[in-house]
A and B are shown apart, each in its own frame.
Chain A
Amino acid sequence: MRNSTPKDIGSINFGLMEPEEYREMSATKIITADTYDDDGFPIDMGLMDPRLGVIDPGLECKTCGKHSGSCNGHFGHIELAAPVIHVGFTKLIRRLLRGTCRECSRLLLTEDEKAEFHGQIDEAQKLGRDLNDVTKAAIRQARKKDRCPHCGEIQYDIDHEKPTTYYEVQQVLTSEYSQRIAGAMQGGEDGERMSPDELAEETDIELSRINEILSGSFRPRESQRKAIEKALDIDLTEEDTNKLMPSDIRDWFEAIPDEDIEVLGIDPERSRPEWMILTVLPVPPVTARPSITLDNGQRSEDDLTHKLVDIIRINQRFMENREAGAPQLIIEDLWELLQYHVTTFMDNEISGTPPARHRSGRPLKTLSQRLKGKEGRFRGSLSGKRVNFSARTVISPDPTLSLNEVGVPDRVAKEMTQTMNVTERNLEKARRFVSNGPEGHPGANYVRRPDGRRLKVTEKNCEQLAEKVEPGWEVNRHLIDGDIVIFNRQPSLHRMSIMAHEVVVMPYKTFRLNTVVCPPYNADFDGDEMNMHALQNEEARAEARVLMRVQEQILSPRFGENIIGAIQDHISGTYLLTHNNPRFNETQALDLLRATRIDELPEPSGIDDEGEPFWTGYDVFSELLPDDLNLEFTGTVGEKVVIEDGQLLEGTIAEDEVGEFGGEIVDTITKIYGKTRARIFINEVASLAMRSIMHFGFSIGIDDETIPEEAQARIDETIDDAYDRVEELIEAYERGELESLPGRTIDETLEMKIMQTLSRARDNAGNIADEHFTSENPAVVMAESGARGSMLNLTQMAGCVGQQAVRGERINRGYENRTLSHYQENDLSAEAHGFVENSYTSGLTPREFFFHAMGGREGLVDTAVRTSKSGYLQRRLINALSELETQYDGTVRDTSDTIVQFEFGEDGTSPVKVSSGDENEIDVANIADRVLDSEFESEQEKQEFLGRRPRPTNLSEHADDRLSVESTEVSSDD
């Protein structure tokens, strides 16, 4: 009988199981430790009993009659010879032992106290608080009682020796009490002697009694003992420990009344405390511990099976020994051994217990190890698992792709398939895919007939199969250009680490991506690999297109500005194009714009002296801007950037204009003209910048960082000056004439002043070097435009590397009172503490190199530590916040419907949708102006406004016509 109807889960209860329940659900009792007989058949009532389920295909399950695959397996059980403690509950067992009476088993609380804790539990449950806090408090209260409030029995301390041993501890009179008293009366080191008379007086005990006690013929009563202890300041007790066997604990717990455990937060309907002491052990079905047949025909058993074998062996020995009337000592040893095996069966990583090992020495992977940790059932198999339709390979750049696209190697495209539902309208296409076979590129790997039968498309059958394809079939065709896939780079730290791209199938073996998407993925091409996932249903594909496509992620939810934009060479390129506004002739101008959708030049900017028309860099760049863009702001270089009616009038285009993190022009276009227009703009800026950097030529070599001899001489002079001043400081310090700065010691002051002097020296050296670099110097261009590097880098290359630091101080470590054996002890000079006077071009001396390596190492260690720390923090944050959800009423609630925020973010706004100005304030005036402008400028425009259609969003890039974009860009942003 097939029963595949999905079932609704009504509720799930967690609790303990009764031994009788284990027996009831058991398919068989297991009594032998053997698994298979000599002929290879499973032994009845053995660990591989066929009633426990089937793993060999073809065999039938003896319990349910199903075959392997559909039979989930059935539990068996072992009757334990003696009760053992369940390791998972040792803490709770200890708490119950401490909180209940050793005689009558009742909770050591008065009725009033019980009622109070009962109330607290109810309240905690209602408020969603941790019940443990209340139950812990209840136990703490109960432990305070010396005597049972119900039967009056004296209570002893419970000692817990991890993992599963419990002792009752009582303080009793030591057997050597007479010697101790006598010793104390002799007087110890402080020598104060006390005679029996004095003792008798001080303790109020008769002298004859004292003498009897001293001779050892009378054991002092408790009150007498205390008096003597007080008088002599000694301790006359010793601990008497009494081991509690699991059977004792079971008897103890059985007598706890139901209403008492309720106060401890335990539901007596579902869980009785005595069930924490096992008398029956369930045996997991064979399907949970399948044996594998090795190549040589030998069977290799699962770790759980090995553990069960141990348990049964000891269990049997225990029973035999007990029946033979073995001495108590041997029985106790066997009991402990049984406890050990049952303990490690459940958890093999208990501290203080040696883990059970395989013959090879490898620790066994038992129940708890299957669940715990990164590779465990929860994190490894349920929250995250391996998936089909995914690919991973190295990435490399391709500036000709759009930022929405990803280049997919053909061999990947042929493996990842998309399901095509064949209809009359796509029948031809579907047949073509099938007839191309699995090897030809836009081919197919499988087809599914309407009857559900799946057929593999092979080179041999593809032609015939193609003819059979009819509407109603399904064809698993290869990935083709325009398909949507998900692309990801680890560590997936933010939303933009997983974005949807459109496929462009390409030769060779790497994924190709446009360089402008490197920042959101934090990718580079030094060997980075990325993952791709082909989507498998229409809903997923639609969601990916609408929500996840790269262009939808241009604005970052972190700061509400664009995270995608021009980077590195793009920025050098636009800088060269617009800085000093160079001129281009027609051929050059057309060449610059060749990779954009502009194929006709505007009116020339002017006519040069030879009578040839020319176009300026501003005009070429302006071709990419929306026609009605108006913008004015202070740019990267420090000068104003002015754009009027889509025309760049002033300024240099560099990082703050088109860059990745909040490039003003990109940001504005995205917010006003929409994401599609922004995508086009970024693509085109990247292309134009590449063309322009190639037009001007851009390279850097060692000569770009060398300076003339006289400049070097001046730098040497500056540094010598600084050395002199440091020397003066040191001399002043040694003469004791140095005045300390407020709040600093003299030593600190000296260090600070030296550091200051040296850093000024480096800056001066840098300034001298800078004087010799023109603004055409490529390093200067990159630093100025914000493409890469800074003036400091240039200073270090050409002028002076400067002071090396570890933990923000000059280098002070190494040998005793000196950094290296090359220096005198207590040498305070600059060079002895890591000042590098050379530049990277002139080269470092060995000692300088060593100090430089020390400083460099600190940076590496810092990053390594930071990434691991922040990774763990991220994981904890995600786990804590993952269940929060914004509801349709705008509130943010957790899964138990408790409100966390009354309005998402307390203002219901998304940072991406908020337009903000420089001071991070809402630019209300600007928004209002825009609304009014578009509404009241002219009647005609108003009509247009009313008749306006929403801009088409999320069309495939392959569907929208790149040349007709102008028509879609008029409308304003939503």
Chain B
Amino acid sequence: MVDVSQHELVPEHTVLEEDELEEVLSEYDIDRTDLPKIKRNDPALPDEAEVGNVVKIVRDSRTTDQAVVYRLVVE
């Protein structure tokens, strides 16, 4: 089996801790359901990610060096 999460083109996905999540939600003044979604069976997700978790995705960016995105894990 190929572990795509190790591929150089797959950005880093990390599960957010509850307190970090609170910070993000209050920064954008949103509920977690307002976040973009990601399917639980997405191969890029780390194994410990569960439905209802929020993952932080850090991408390389040509213009801003790093682009950070949050996604809610759904069924």
Contacts and interface: CB of A to CB of B under 8 A. Distances in A.
Interface string A886-921: 000101010011111111001111000010000001
A126 B64 CA distance: 33
Contact of A906 (B33, B35, B59, B74): B59
B29 to A, nearest CB: 8
B34 A907 contact: no
Nearest to A125: B33
Contacts of B67: 902-903, 906-907
Given A891-B28, A906-B59, A906-B69, A899 B34 contact: yes
Interface size class of A (residues with CB under 8 A): 20 to 34
Contacts of A891: 28
A128 interface: yes
Q: B33, B35, B37, B61 — which one has the most chain A CB atoms within 10 A of its CB?
A: B33
A896 B34 CA distance: 8
B68 interface: yes
A907 B63 contact: yes
A732 interface: no
B36 interface: yes
A909 B67 CA distance: 12
Contacts of A903: 64, 67
A127 B62 contact: no
Contacts of B37: 127
A127 B73 CA distance: 11
A547 interface: no
Nearest to A120: B75
A922 interface: yes
Interface string B53-75: 00000010111100111100010
A898 B34 contact: yes
Nearest to A921: B62
A899 B35 contact: yes
A891 B67 CA distance: 13
* A contact face: mostly helix, strand, loop, or mixed: loop
A908 B69 CA distance: 13
Interface string B34-61: 1111000000000000000000000101
A909 B65 CA distance: 12
Nearest to A894: B34
B27 to A, nearest CB: 8
A908 B67 CA distance: 10
B30 interface: yes
A906 B59 CA distance: 9
A907 B64 contact: yes
Nearest to A126: B33
Contacts of A902: 28, 67-70
A907 B28 contact: no
Contacts of A906: 59, 61, 64, 67, 69
Contacts of A901: 69
A35 to B, nearest CB: 55
A922 B63 contact: yes
Given A891-B28, A906-B69, A914-B63, A127 B74 contact: yes
Interface residues of B, number: 17
Contacts, number: 46
Contact of B63 (A897, A898, A900, A909): A909
A446 to B, nearest CB: 49
B54 to A, nearest CB: 12
Interface in A874-892: 889, 891
Nearest to A128: B33
A899 B64 contact: no
Contacts of A896: 34
A684 B74 CA distance: 59
Nearest to A896: B34
Given A127-B37, A127-B74, A899 B30 contact: yes
A899 B59 contact: no
Given A889-B28, A906-B59, A906-B69, A900 B64 contact: no
B59 to A, nearest CB: 7
Nearest to A911: B63
A899 B67 CA distance: 15
Contacts of A909: 63-64
Nearest to A906: B67
Nearest to A914: B63
A889 B29 CA distance: 10
A127 B75 CA distance: 11
Contacts of A127: 33, 37, 74
A897 B68 contact: no
A174 to B, nearest CB: 47
Nearest to B67: A906
Nearest to A903: B67
A759 B37 CA distance: 54
A893 B34 CA distance: 9
Nearest to B34: A898
Nearest to A898: B34
B48 to A, nearest CB: 22
Contacts of A893: 34
Contacts of B74: 127
Contacts of A899: 28, 30, 34-36
A897 B61 CA distance: 25
A901 B70 CA distance: 9
B51 to A, nearest CB: 10
A81 B62 CA distance: 71
A26 to B, nearest CB: 43
A897 B33 contact: no
A921 B62 CA distance: 8
Contacts of B70: 902
A901 B69 CA distance: 8
A897 B62 contact: no
Interface string A522-553: 00000000000000000000000000000000
A922 B62 CA distance: 8
A356 B3 CA distance: 63
B53 to A, nearest CB: 14
Nearest to B59: A906
A914 to B, nearest CB: 7
Contacts of A900: 36
Nearest to B31: A126
Nearest to A127: B33
A24 to B, nearest CB: 39
A897 B59 contact: no
Contacts of B62: 907, 921-922
Contacts of B61: 906-907
Interface of B: 28, 30, 33-37, 59, 61-64, 67-70, 74
Given A128-B33, A899-B34, 14 more contacts: A127-B74, A891-B28, A896-B34, A897-B34, A899-B30, A900-B36, A902-B67, A902-B68, A902-B70, A903-B64, A906-B59, A907-B64, A907-B67, A909-B63
Interface of A: 126-128, 889, 891, 893, 896-903, 906-909, 914, 921-922
9 contacts: A127-B74, A898-B35, A898-B36, A899-B36, A901-B69, A903-B64, A906-B69, A907-B64, A909-B64
Q: Please list the 8 inter-chain residue pairs (A to B) with the smallest Cβ-Cβ separation, ordered nearest first.
A: A907-B63, A907-B64, A906-B67, A898-B34, A126-B33, A909-B63, A907-B61, A127-B33
